[in-house]
Structure 1
């Protein structure tokens, strides 16, 4: 049994012993909750980076913590984590795929040269997390300056999802307890109700409640910390009213201390630093990431951290990102009151509506597709598909099923790996059409958190150089561009398009195929190999966008996978009024592809049984290079305490930042100067 299940069962056992519940109803309720947790194990991610502010062209070193959503313990479910760098227009600038290695997800993202100044976002997720809409894992990154987050203003939409009965659920936090009561605006509440309280689907109270008889929940009985759901249920266990309340985040925090050990300085001037946690329980260990950063004028106010992220951001539907300051004030209680909570589906689970996630947990990389006839597009049964990787010397063979589908599992190879697929009929004939299922990366349609700039100094601390002899120190030179961040910087033709990717953009993005590149554009969708702009709906049905290669329109069935990304110089997308330059054929939008040679002939690449392609393989980690801005970056440390040797320069003007989780799911978060 997984560790998180053991902890959950132990918690529920304590509740059964210490809480007066109706035995029959409670047994049914607990069994439904346990069934839902088993059917749909949920995950959260948090990205720890080597800094919060960068300049164009720098590298973002990162480590992703993947934890179980209920108990915040590192789990062993998903094998891959995806991390994307989103620009202020919500377009994906970079995407990497990290493979679990020694229980860690460590990697990097290189910021392209020339990107515009602004607040960018790191979005991280697993395939399993895509089962839930509105629970994005976001991390703010400032490029070209320093900024701070501002608390987001939520609309009180939670109660609107329930029946508009004239009854109120009142939750009030006292010094060492929480008081819950119900009242009516006009009449005395006569019906019998039950109060159900849970935190991250772990039930903490279930019992009767009526007007005039308040329920007092003492602090010790509320064993969890974070967002609590107080649900008023009728006789059919249907939720009448629900209130969210943010309580006791300190219960989830594992406090640590960091001190210099001046008595044991090494001969080379390195200073030992001792990191300990006095509150660790027996057998409990820490799994943390550590960085030492130049403090300067940028303090930790207005940042988010792993504590605010796991306890608040990732449990609230549509929550962009909150500063960590909300945890130390009553502001969080007010914020939670206007939030919506759909993650754990407790309203349905209580009534027996347990269900699995639509997308399974990703245990390995898979290449899928289908084979069909050239005429009539009928599936080919028992066809033979060969997969070859010249880079890795790998070969595999699969047969198609009755629907003409095939799959190759265990394709765990690094990024840039090239594959060759070819397909034949059962009789060995090559006149078939081979279609490849492309990896689906959902666009981000959510909202970015509010922020404000705190410092506009764009000096690259890590690029400071000594003045050469007879050198001349020039004033800082500012270069401004009025071209949108998403536009091509290769020529002026892109100005007439709505979205453009020039050669430099294509190379920096590293898309594996044209469809992946087009999916990054808002309003463009790819379905069964065809591209649609804003849905492409007409009176006669759905129509794909027109595709032009080097100015020549191709047939609607033309497969864009026939064009290798290495041959593409520019991609322009026209939608709306900009399509008039293409005439009537551009009514549903136009995708214009310009090749490097400029004389691409569609007849040169007919629809055949062979495809050459690359997938988004896993990223191979690279060593970190210390610099003046970040002299120390240690993404993975495990144990009960740590003794680090730090450069002597860190003793003044630098800050130590430590974040992670313990083996029992408590959260480690520390930021400050080292103590003497």
Structure 2
């Protein structure tokens, strides 16, 4: 992709030379005097300023399928990008995914940690779901600053157990007919194109026929849909007239108000190489220059200054070469930098990942092993090493519409315009005139990410954003002493453990005793332990009250209208539903509970029990227990010298300990790190540790190598975990513990291995999703090979592969393969 800055510099260079650039008519001059150069510079500066404060973040969810029954699992892979080049976003670290029901209620709300712009998740659809359309919605916290029409949304169909065979409900015949004058307004005396779109009360496109009449009843234009409920006609408004659309059914719809002064922008974007533009204006405006900027994702890719030079119109062309794929907004300004009209066009340079796949054997048997070979290249046939996600389904049960949306259509088109686009895949199938014309009708009849030119030109300061780029969840609360006195400016160490994942956080209370732990990215139920330290780094008793942090989510605007159901297809799919549920009960080892909301809740608050496992829940490399020795007068230093590979040397207070000749290890007393109070010039054992004898010690654990990684650089030389006895000379410190709910748990898709005979394999296998792999990578040759086992009844497979390269190039593949043979 050509650098946008280079494109702008080249255009300005031609302006300064006063050349005729991209002009269809040699009399169309690109102005080059200092005033016009300054205006273009100021306009471009406004774009740069706005783009800096409003980077465009988008996200897409690849799901294993679009059709489910209640009680099944929905699997997805998230791709999040930032900026005009669609590079993986490193700004947001938290993904939000909501499942919205037919009644607009948010039924499931999840968060996941985004790692390098990607995340993997699943939703267990409740068993009590009724049949109907549901919406899957995805977004980041930053995306909430803008219109939620630009969130990722996808409609899925769910077959419920209660009403799957109910007859379809009646649908209202009401219809909305909207008109979209090209450029924004129809202008008196100027011929212009007016597009229209007809939408039924169910949100689906409608076909219409009729005509446009003036105030005297005279027909002035024909009205008829071309595609997706849309069409267009030409209109030259006359003085004193108003216009009305009359449909064949007798219904009437008034056209938008006519402007007395203004510009008319007519664009032909059906050519493969250039965008043809014709500008007209009312008489006064033809005496002054005008300016046009072309912007994609808040980045300028075209700018020009023009003069009518006593002509009634100006025509010119913009070459598509060098401009990236996407929705480009062309905005016209006068010499006061006032925007008069705007038109969006779509540019498709067809730069995408070329993905191909094949399965072998070509006719696999029941429960036989199947190999999927994947190859990825760029448009020039060069191999691409990239990460992809893949879903293979039983095409006899469920199949994706090949013309539906995918990562390519979403990132380049659907994420930048408002409203539903039916079968967006058809708009990317080729570059013939019919396809380009259908795409241009979509551009004319859908809203887009409008640029706030008026606010910028009035010199107002850009408002601060309500929602930041979040780096993780937040834990907050208030700390008090053992006697309920506020802990002011006290250091808190927090140890967190979820499964095998362990981490440490440090924070400090304010004058009100309150604290915040940001960027918390643990998943599922997580145990956290609080330890308080004095100014001299000594452990203190602490009481903690956690805030109930409920994650608020945007309101839902999902409108699910009843539609006529394909009863035969629904029955065929649901025939195997009970069998699939039995398999899930048997194979789902990662059973989880979905919460309606993410809440931090208090679990327990107690003193550390020295008989419990390691504070970090880890298995130590070695343990010494004092009860196993009869030497009561032994010092702690003499005791730890009994560890294999541990050397103790020196005398108090300059005692040093090393593990296999390495540097000073870390000492942790009852879960709290103890700092060296002698100084770094002579690394010694902390006096508090060195002066202890084993009469008050219950055990010492040794962590080294990988076991000590959780302690970071401090544990590079190993860690000694010292636990005192209950009632010993060293008073136990109150360390509150809590269970909190982190991100949604990442679960693994179960794929049976029939090469090994197990008792559970006696169950019938009627999987709808045969294989789901949310993350695999092609090698340097662009190849990857994956294996899975067939089910009992799959005779045809649909393979769906999607991905995004590290350079921001998207790609999608969808294909069905042949039937299988019966095993004799």
Asked if Structure 1 and Structure 2 have the same fold, meaning a TM-score greater than 0.5 normalized by the shorter chain, the answer is yes
Q: Does 1:621 align with 2:621?
A: no
The one of 641, 652, 655 equivalent to 2:783 is 641
Residue number in structure 1 paired with 2:401: 300
CA contact 1:368–1:408 (8 Å) conserved in 2: yes
Alignment of 1:495-574 (within 5 A): 508-513=594-599
Q: CA deviation at 1:110?
A: 0.3
Alignment check: 8 A CA contact 1:79 1:100 kept: yes
Q: Give the one of 62, 70, 77 matched to 1:48.
A: 62
Structure 1 residues 244 and 648: alpha-carbon distance in aligned structure 2, compared to 1, 3 A threshold: same
Q: Which fold has the larger relative contact order, with Cα–Cα distance below 8 Å and residues 6 or more apart in sequence?
A: 1
Task: Give the distance between the partners of 1:71 and 1:340, measured in 2 at CA.
Answer: 22
Q: 1:205 corresponds to which residue?
A: 302
Q: Does 1:336 align with 2:443?
A: yes
- Please state if 1:361 is matched with 2:504: no
Query: Among 170, 187, 205, which residue is 2:266 paired with?
Result: 170
How many residues get paired?
527
Unaligned runs of 5+ in 2: 16-31, 169-174, 186-255, 429-434, 481-485, 581-591, 602-734, 753-765, 820-824
The two structures have a TM-score, normalised by structure 1, of 0.65
Distance 1:15 1:44, change over 3 A: same
Could you tell me how far apart the structure 2 residues matched to 1:228 and 1:451 are? 36
Quick check: 12-21 or 151-160, which moved more? 151-160
Q: What's the counterpart of residue 350 of structure 2?
A: 251
Q: CA deviation at 1:237?
A: 2.3
- Structure 1 residues 71 and 389, CA gap change in structure 2 (3 angstroms): closer
Larger radius of gyration: 2
**Is contact 2:389-2:776 (8 Å) kept?**
yes
Q: CA deviation at 1:460?
A: 3.5
Q: Which of 286, 291, 297 is residue 194 of structure 1 equivalent to?
A: 291
Describe the superposition over 1:158-189 as per-residue Cα deviations: whole angstroms up to 9, x where unpaired.
Answer: 94899965322222224242222222467663
2:4 is aligned with 1:11: yes
Spell out, residue by residue over 1:195-225, the C-alpha distance to the aligned partner (whole angstroms, 9 max, x if none).
1112222322111234545343344336222
Local SS of the residue matching 2:107: strand
Gaps of 5+ in 1: 1-6, 373-378, 467-505, 516-608
Shift in CA distance, 614/144, structure 1 to aligned 2, threshold 3 Å? same
- Shifted more, 615-624 versus 75-84: the winner is 615-624
SS of residue paired to 1:221: coil
Q: How far is the alpha carbon of 1:231 from its aligned partner? A: 0.2
Return 215-224 or 416-425, whichever deviates more: 416-425
Contact 1:40 1:356 in 2 (8 A): no
Distance change (3 Å), C-alpha of 1:324 and 1:393: closer
Could you say what secondary structure the match of 2:442 adopts? helix
The answer to whether the 8 Å contact 2:279/2:315 transfers is no
In the TM superposition, residue 193 of structure 1 has moved relative to its aligned partner by: 1.0
8 Å contact from structure 2 (residues 65, 400) kept in 1: no
The answer as to whether partners of 2:7 and 2:301 remain within 8 angstroms in 1 is no
Is 1:180 aligned to residue 277 of structure 2?
yes
Residue pairs, 1:91-130, within 5 angstroms: 91-101=105-115, 104-130=118-144
The structural deviation recorded for 1:335 is 2.9
Superposition deviation, residue 37 in structure 1: 3.8
Superposed displacement of residue 425, structure 1: 13
CA distance in 2, matches of 1:152, 1:280: 45
Over residues 543-602 of structure 1, what are the superposed CA-to-partner deviations in whole Å (9 max), with x where a residue is unaligned?
xxxxxxxxxxxxxxxxxxxxxxxxxxxxxxxxxxxxxxxxxxxxxxxxxxxxxxxxxxxx
* CA displacement at 1:128 relative to structure 2: 1.7
State the Cα deviation string for residues 103-160 of structure 1 (Å, max 9, x = none). 631111100011111111111111222221322211211101899xxx9987749948
How do residues 305-320 of structure 1 correspond to structure 2 at under 5 angstroms? 305-316=406-417, 318-319=418-419
Q: What's the counterpart of residue 340 of structure 2?
A: 240
Shift in CA distance, 304/282, structure 1 to aligned 2, threshold 3 Å: closer
What displacement does 1:429 show?
13
Distance 1:615 1:52 in 2: 29
> 2:813 aligns to what?
670
Whether 1:84 and 2:98 are equivalent positions in the alignment is yes
Aligned match of 1:569 = none
Listed one character per residue, the Cα deviations across residues 314-336 of structure 1 (whole Å, up to 9, x for unaligned) are 112x5356532452543442232
Q: CA deviation at 1:363?
A: 2.1
Distance 1:657 1:398, change over 3 A: closer
Distance 1:201 1:434, change over 3 A: same
Secondary structure of residue in 1 paired with 2:350: helix
Which residue number corresponds to residue 442 of structure 1? 553
Distance in 2 of aligned mates of 1:637 and 1:294? 21
Q: Distance in 2 between matches of 1:131 and 1:16?
A: 32
> Which of 271, 277, 290 is matched with 2:390 structurally?
290
1:279 counterpart residue number: 379
Segment drifting more, 182-191 vs 92-101: 182-191
Asked whether the equivalents of residues 330 and 344 of structure 2 are also in contact (C-alpha less than 8 Å), the reply is: yes
Cα separation, partners in 2 of 1:633 and 1:192, compared to 1, 3 Å: same
SS of match in other structure, 1:130: helix
- CA deviation profile, 1:422-442 (whole Å, cap 9, x unmatched): 99999x999999672624322
Q: Distance in 2 between matches of 1:17 and 1:50?
A: 45
Moved more, 303-312 or 443-452: 443-452
3-state secondary structure, aligned to 2:520 = coil
- Structure 2 Cα separation of the partners of residues 326 and 450 of structure 1: 24
Residue 658 in 1 paired to residue 801 in 2? yes
**Superposition deviation, residue 307 in structure 1:** 2.2
| CA spacing shift, 1:268–1:82, aligned 2, 3 Å | same
- Which secondary structure state, in structure 2, belongs to the residue aligned with residue 270 of structure 1? strand
**Is contact 1:273-1:646 (8 Å) kept?**
no
Shift of 1:304: 2.2
CA distance in 2, matches of 1:133, 1:415: 31
Do the aligned residues in 2 keep the contact of 1:39 with 1:355 (CA within 8 Å)?
no
Cα contact 1:93–1:509 (8 A) shared by 2: no
CA shift at 1:444, angstroms?
A: 2.7
TM norm structure 2? 0.55
After TM superposition, give the deviation of residue 414 of structure 1 in Å. Answer: 1.5
Deviation of 1:345 after TM superposition, in Å, equals: 4.8
Structure 1 residues 669 and 447, CA gap change in structure 2 (3 angstroms): same
Alignment deviations for residues 370-408 of structure 1 (CA, whole Å, 9 cap, x no partner): 689xxxxxx996477786758788776644435765211
Inter-partner Cα distance in structure 1 for 2:409 and 2:490: 53
Mean alpha-carbon deviation: is it higher for 318-327 or for 228-237? 318-327
Once the two structures are superposed, what CA deviation does each residue of 1:34-91 show, in whole Å capped at 9, x if it has no partner? 4544444331111111111000000011101111242122232222212111111222
SS of the counterpart of 1:251?
Answer: coil
Question: 2:653 maps to which residue?
Answer: none
In 1, the alpha carbon distance for the partners of 2:527 and 2:178 equals: 47
Q: Classify the secondary structure of the residue corresponding to 2:155.
A: strand
